[in-house]
Structure 1
Amino acid sequence: MLIIPAIDIKDKKCVQLVQGNPNNKILELDNPVEVAKKFVNEGAKYLHVIDLDGALGTGDNLDIIEEIVKNVNVPIEVGGGIRDLEKAKKLIDLGVDRVIVGTKAILNKKFLEELVDEFGKDRVVLAVESKNNKVVIKGWKEKIDKSPLEIIKEYEDLLKYILFTNVDTEGLMRGINLDVIKDVVTNTKLNIIYSGGVSSIEDIKNLKRIGVYGVVIGSAIYKGKISLKEAISLI
């Protein structure tokens, strides 16, 4: 299982938000590139970068992402505001390993097919975000009357990776709902990268036990509840 530290970028800074709310920051650091280098020095083999300005439609942080790619020797997946082939291509050309797409791909399967045709299924991740066992889109503001598994099954033959976020626990540092995750992992052949609420070494051990491919960890590392080195040593 991959331990994947999260770097969320807003206004050129590394931030952590509670429940995805841009007005509710629990952390702000000036230099995302230095944060990335620190994670790699601590043993991270993969990084998860989200361009929050891209996601919110208020700009982008492509320059910062390019600097991260240049300054670390591990692959990076990037999400946030990838709503057309051109933006995805720009990121891949910068040296990004995988692009993460959510709302646009869920609402328009053709867009996802175009991405996979262009870059291959190794380079595309579909973000499926769940609240009360229903998929939410547009920054968790709208709900679709489908469960995460229903969406995943629709795209199963097209993809290799799913980024599954349980919004009910995301950013709250109260641990994970293992049953919800296990239901997804055991009912699909796709590689599940899990995100949301991971706040202890015990959470990580449980995710590994049920067969999660990768786990994205943000707040718990930044707040010192989980040692990145210790987490990686378990895998």
Structure 2
Amino acid sequence: MEFRPCIDLHDGKVKQIVGSTLGHKDQAVVENFTSEHDSTYFAQLFANDKLTGGHVIMLGSGNEEAAIRALNAYPNGLQIGGGITADNAKIYIDAGASHVIVTSYIFHDGKLDMEHLQKLIAAVGKDKLVIDLSCRARDGKWFVVTDKWTKFSDFEVNATSIKMMENYCDELLIHAVDVEGKRSGMQEGLVADLAKWTSIPTTYAGGVRSIEDLKLFETIGNNKLHVTIGSALDIFGGDLSYEDVVAYCKE
């Protein structure tokens, strides 16, 4: 189990928000925290702690410059997602990203677009691609949600679909959308399912808020999954010590 840190960018600033409130015209974005530090500060912090596989997420437009500064500050140490397409993916790889992360570009109109996926692989290579299968529960099953997590796709996340998607990427990133950013505890059922289904490096994000949660995550995930923690960390306005998380996961 590795700790995979995150730098979420909104309006050019490092923030922690409730991701499920993005993209709604009649609902304000819920912000948990806005940092006084820029993206390079956190990139350098993660570099100093030798944390790899973390991700920079651009939440909407206007974040490109801050994202590239972070990638420049920690070459090959961070992944990047948010608005990634076959046309711009190589720009971010050339700027220092180890991988690009994609969801909505390959999932639109409720379906998986294999043509777009193949274009991305042609642009940067399978070994530079992370597929984000951010999902929500519906009728007792997990389904990928897209367009800032506002739309359900018809793509069910299960053992069969995970096995298929692993053929097209280097890693998987799974946001548990219903709990992400809420510091309310992880979706234990999803963690258990992912531990059974995945065979490539997979990072889970959503709801982890304490060292006790980390221990439970490690147990349920059979020490097989990596973990991202955002809003709960003290560096992002929460109560959980970033240093304690780094130390625990390195042990």
Distance in 2 (CA, whole Å) between partners of 1:158 and 1:45 is 21
Secondary structure, counterpart of 1:145 in structure 2 = strand
Within 5 Å, give how 1:94-173 maps onto structure 2. 94-106=95-107, 107-132=112-137, 133-149=142-158, 151-173=161-183
Corresponding residue number in structure 2 for 1:87: 88
Q: TM-score, normalised by structure 1?
A: 0.88
The answer for unaligned runs of 5 or more in structure 2 is 23-28
Structure 1 segments (4+ residues) deviating >4 Å: none
SS of equivalent to 2:175: strand
CA offset digits 1:94-122 (Å, max 9, x no partner): 11111000022133122222222332322
In the superposition, the TM-score normalised over structure 2's length comes to 0.82
Amino acid aligned to 1:8 = D
Give the secondary-structure state (helix, strand or coil) at the position aligned to 1:125. strand
Deviates more, 1:28-37 or 1:5-14: 28-37
SS at match of 2:88: helix
Q: Distance in 1 between matches of 2:53 and 2:132?
A: 17
Corresponding position of 1:231: 245
Note the C-alpha offset of 1:137: 1.3
Residue 74 of structure 1 deviates from its aligned partner by 5.9
**C-alpha distance in 1, partners of 2:73/2:122?**
29
Residue type of the partner of 1:102?
Answer: T
Instruction: Give me the CA root mean square deviation.
Output: 2.0
Q: Which residue of 2 aligns with 1:75?
A: 77
In structure 1, distance between residues paired with 2:212 and 2:120 = 36
Deviations for 1:164-187, whole angstroms, at most 9, x for unmatched residues?
111121111011122221112212
Moved more, 137-146 or 92-101: 137-146
1:124-152 CA-partner distances (Å, limit 9, x unpaired): 00011111122211111111234212542
Deviations 1:17-59 (A, max 9, x none): 1243242111112422223323444553343110112xxxxx3
Give the % identical residues: 29
Alignment partners' CA distance in 1, 2:168 and 2:102: 14
Q: 2:185 aligns with which of 175, 191, 195?
A: 175
1:165-221 deviations in whole A, cap 9, x for unaligned? 111211110111222211122123232111111111122223333234321111011
AA in 1 matched with 2:228: V
Question: Do 2:202 and 2:226's aligned partners in 1 also have CA atoms closer than 8 Å?
Answer: yes
What one-letter code is carried by the residue in structure 1 that aligns with 2:154? Answer: D
- The residue identity in structure 2 corresponding to 1:164 is I
Change (3 A) 1:7 1:46: same
Displacement, 1:15? 0.9
Structure 1 runs not aligned, ≥5 long: 54-58
Give the distance between the partners of 2:122 and 2:217, measured in 1 at CA.
31
Question: What SS does the corresponding residue of 1:131 show, helix, strand or coil?
Answer: strand
Q: In the alignment, residue 65 of structure 2 is paired with which amino acid?
A: D
| CA–CA distance in structure 2, aligned partners of residues 96 and 141 of structure 1 | 27
Q: Which residue number corresponds to residue 45 of structure 2?
A: 38
Contact kept, 8 Å, 1:43 with 1:232, in 2: the verdict is no
Aligned residues: 229
